[in-house]
Structure 1
Amino acid sequence: MPFQPDSPLVVALRPSPNVTARTLPVDMIVLHYTGMDSAQAAIDLLADPTSKVSSHYVVLEDGSVVQMVPEALRAHHAGVSVWEGESDTNSRSIGIEIVNGGHSAGLPDFPAVQIDGVIALCRDLAARHAIRPDRVLAHSDVAPARKEDPGERFPWAELHGAGIGHLVPAAPLGGGGFLMQGDSGPPVAALQAMLALYGYGIAVTGDYDEMTRIVVTAFQRHFRPARVDGVADGSTVRTLRDLIAAKPGDAPEIA
């Protein structure tokens, strides 16, 4: 028999067989875009046992919500990923797919009514699972080497204004020095340490290698989308420092 919806916002159920048991309590929401031609194609893929992928929810263009996996079970949405040192993102998270063609389709705007649906669903989830604002994340945050979704045009500020997610005003472009691929030394190590402190999966090596460029790009895509280039300019570093300072919980002070 079909499972019962977990959220009162659900308008339809489409059970996916691609599930496993959770091994961690839910403390995170991960947002994705579908990156496919249509909502139906995305839902069919997520319900196909041969695809081995799934999500808990899909938010359609009109803001309506389809549930595919019970929240008590582990959906297969984040893949190889890490946040705050935990690599089993799927066990600790609720996965939400947002119907959008993605970068391959020119990254279309998300309709306002759809974002209203995402906000309502996230508010419901955050309230029921006591999810901290800084743990409402992009797929690109937890899997920066593989994923770009939901992309730099996703309206994180609108979600934050409705009480969802963690955000600070991005520091203005310009001013200060910059770090880029090929650089090395203590300033690079300090940047990597701050990214790791916020939650990103990055080693503190002191070398601005390809992985550092990728993680900086992911950070910019979410928190400083005015320029997404993988170069840690003054704006990027200041925005990161401000985020850490405002992070809920007992975030260590930055020297």
Structure 2
Amino acid sequence: MSSGLAITQAPSPNFDARALPITMIVLHYTGMESAEAAIARLRDPEAKVSAHYVVDEDGSILQLVDEDKRAWHAGRSHWRGITDVNSASIGIEIVNPGHEFGYHNFTDAQMGALIPLVADIKARHAITRGNVVGHSDVAPARKQDPGELFNWHALARLRLALPRPTRNLVDPGWPDAGFMLALERFGYNVEDGEAAVTAFQRRFRPELIDGEVDGECRCILLALLLPKPQGED
């Protein structure tokens, strides 16, 4: 359990042993019609899915799996050379119906609970900002969550995630193949190029998600590859 936070234990049987040290936090939305349905599924041995934590819309936090265990939240995923993302990460499910059931803004109470939870986990495991990611970042061909409505800025301004670069942007003029090489260097799986670009846009340019490489995308990615991304954060 994370110290200093009000967390209710709701154990799930869906876990196994880690094979890697914890170096990542992966944020999800539940993508189901209700919190109750999502929590029941995450605790159902037949479903074979779980997460370490669930943050409900009222800000309450459940812990389903101990952090030293490997929860089954990321599925087939890849980030910065790691293919067993479950072994390397803490998974946090944020209650939201998702794109299928009426996607909407995350509540202030949720963000108010999520931020100290992420801060606590990040500090205890010495996780870098660049490894606090969304499910769509690690599985771009399969997932959209937590989606374009998630307030990454709220985390970034507290140095809990990378900011969207906004200052001193320069277009490197890469061809699309060069952009893909840079995107892979940053951390994405680019086997499905359009899906990878879409995931990148959903995370760093959510107002226009079209899967197409343009000058703004090149500017943002180049800035992210620099030692210190410069944003409003």
Q: TM-score, normalization: structure 2?
A: 0.92
Q: Among 184, 196, 202, which residue is 1:196 paired with?
A: 184
Is 1:153 matched up with 2:149?
yes
2:208 to 217, 227, 239: 227
CA distance in 2 between partners of 1:54 and 1:77 (Å):
5
Tell me which residue corresponds to 1:12. Answer: 8
Residue matched to 1:102: 98
Kindly indicate whether the alpha-carbon contact (under 8 Å) linking 2:176 and 2:213 is maintained by their aligned counterparts in 1.
no
Match of 2:19 in 1: 23
Give, in angstroms, the shift of residue 9 of structure 1: 1.6
Q: 1:20 to 1:137 in 2, by over 3 A?
A: same
Match of 2:122 among 118, 121, 126: 126
CA displacement at 1:94 relative to structure 2: 0.1
Q: Is the 8 A contact 2:2 2:117 kept in 1?
A: no
Q: Give how far 1:75 is off.
A: 0.1
CA distance in 2, matches of 1:229, 1:177: 20
Q: Between Structure 1 and Structure 2, how many residues are aligned? A: 228
**Match of residue 79, structure 1, among 75, 80, 86:** 75
Query: 1:40, 1:90 → 2: CA distance?
Result: 24
User: Alpha carbons of 1:195 and 1:70: their partners in 2 closer, same or farther (altered >3 Å)?
Assistant: same
Give 4+ residue runs of structure 1 displaced > 4 Å after superposition: 175-178
Q: Do 1:10 and 1:67's aligned partners in 2 also have CA atoms closer than 8 Å?
A: no
Specify the alignment match of 1:208 in structure 2: none
More moved, 238-247 vs 64-73: 238-247
Shift in Å, 1:8: 3.4
After superposition, what is the alpha-carbon deviation per residue over 1:98-157, rounded to whole angstroms, capped at 9, x for unaligned? 000111133211111111111110000011000000000000000001000000010001
Structure 1 unaligned residues grouped into runs of 5+: 179-185, 204-210, 249-255
Q: Provide the alpha-carbon RMSD of the alignment.
A: 2.1
Q: Shift of the alpha carbon at 1:170?
A: 4.8
Percent of pairs with identical residues: 50
Q: Which residue of 2 aligns with 1:206?
A: none
Question: Which of residues 175, 192, 214 is equivalent to 1:187?
Answer: 175
Cα shift at 1:246: 3.7
Q: Which has the higher contact order (CA 8 A, sep 6+)?
A: 2
Instruction: State how far apart, in whole Å, the 2-side matches of 1:122 and 1:243 are.
Output: 21
Q: Hey, what does 1:216 align to over in structure 2? A: 197
